[in-house]
Chain A
Amino acid sequence: MTDQITFPDAVQWAVPFFIAAILAEFLWIAVKGKGGRYETRDAVTSLIMGAGNIASGFALGFIAYAFFMWLWQITPLNLGTSIPVILLCFVLDDLRYYWVHRFGHRIRWVWASHVNHHSSQHYNLTTALRQTWTYTFTFMMVVRAPLILLGFHPAMVLFVGGLNLIYQFWIHTEAIGKMPRWFEAVMNTPSHHRAHHGRNARYLDCNYAGVFIIWDKMFGTFVPEQESDRVDYGLVHNIGTFNPLRVAFHEWVGIWQDATQPGLTLRQRLAYCFAPPGYSHDGSRDSSDQIKAKHLARHPEDRGTPGFEQSEAETPNTEAKQA
């Protein structure tokens, strides 16, 4: 199938809206005296990461697009470009986003790309633009392959993916508390996504949704924001740099340093690349499960509350136990 179909690059067209919304949020916080925090270097770093994300799309986007067009050549299916098909594509692409995002937190190779989005200790609209420069190297474009093989045109898939990212922009704010109950039940909201950005033990590895929060509810990863446990934004081990190059590449460098240290087995080297973040061959680091278990050892009263339903008391690191 080689028919030429074009869709606008929605993210590029949204840039003026992004700038206007950031100014509006900043003024809202300044006038109200609540609803978030801004810091100059943090915000500038986030904006430069956003600009770099667009630049990396120009520089490396052809790789994914060539892959998608190859898939489009071999699929016998073509669902066309009617409005119902675009809507269906949007919903299915959001399911694709959920899984890519979940992989992004549970596979260190993908986390190396996504970590920079979580590297700010702030949560405002500039944080939404703190995006990866290295997504191409995660090879997560393969997760879109089923959509194209099912007959959704690559240009349409990329278009709805852009709409998905634009939707997620506005939920990066503390200026909005809760949306109406029906909206919170179905859609990803500032409240749900604040929890996702939390480094508190309760909020680790939750709320991966892009647009529809229903995926988290379906797959057991939903944790509602708790008034009693205010979200602490950032990484478990916060980085100490505003340098965009270090922000973009620090986890890749960490993978390299970990996987190439002497004396490891091949399995351990691969685990440093692909196991969940926090893996270590000697038990010197904590995974999110271990962080939750340690939290419960300190705060047993939290057992069974949201985010700790399936957590056990502190468990020893299995690798360390074997050693």
Chain B
Amino acid sequence: MPLEILLILVAGGIVGVTVLLHLSGKSELRALTPELAQSEWLRHAPDDTIIDVTVAHDGHSALIRTQTGNGLLWSFGADTVARHLLDFDWLEHPDGFEIQFHDFGTPKVIVHLDDFERRHWRHLLEPV
């Protein structure tokens, strides 16, 4: 196949699929409830025993306290990703906190928090 045609097909295909999916509402983030956050955490970490779950008011992040330590679950497109809070840093961010994981495949996540819950989450994130 001529290279120009291949390039047009590939670029056009990617742009076309992107526009189609976005316009049909497939870009929305997964909304978390406490029950959903709990079941999603156990999907990612089935060996854990959950103590309690704190879902951010925007419904896109949840702090999970387990018997082996804290973890963060967050919306990742239509799905979720979870990490134990072991090797991480957290920074103040205008919208909440920025959690950095020191992991090339999961570099960071912005946790969106309002002023009220920011104080509570700061307390939860402090090392015990």
Binding site for B on A (CB under 8 A): 9, 12-13, 15-16, 18-19, 22-23, 26, 30, 37-44, 47-48, 50-51, 54, 121-122, 126, 232, 234, 237-242, 246-247, 249-251, 253-254, 294-295, 298
Contacts and interface: CB of A to CB of B under 8 A. Distances in A.
- The interface centre, meaning the residue of B10, B44, B81 with most chain A CB atoms within 10 A of its CB, is B10
Given A39-B27, A40-B27, A238-B76, 19 more contacts: A19-B13, A22-B13, A39-B21, A39-B78, A39-B79, A42-B79, A43-B26, A44-B14, A44-B17, A44-B21, A51-B10, A121-B76, A232-B43, A240-B105, A241-B106, A241-B107, A246-B104, A250-B105, A298-B47
Nearest to B43: A232
B46 interface: yes
Given A44-B18, A241-B107, A249-B104, A294 B9 contact: no
Nearest to A22: B17
Tell me whether chain B's interface is mostly helix, strand or loop, or mixed: mixed
B77 A41 contact: yes
Most buried by B among A9, A12, A23, A232: A12
A30 B24 CA distance: 9
B106 A239 contact: yes
Given A240-B83, A242-B77, A38 B26 contact: yes
Contacts of A239: 81, 105-106
Contact of A42 (B1, B10, B74, B78): B78
Contacts of B124: none
Majority secondary structure, A binding face = helix
Contact of A298 (B17, B46, B81): B46
15 contacts: A12-B6, A13-B1, A26-B20, A39-B21, A40-B18, A41-B77, A42-B77, A44-B21, A54-B6, A122-B79, A238-B44, A240-B74, A240-B101, A254-B104, A294-B47
B105 A241 contact: yes
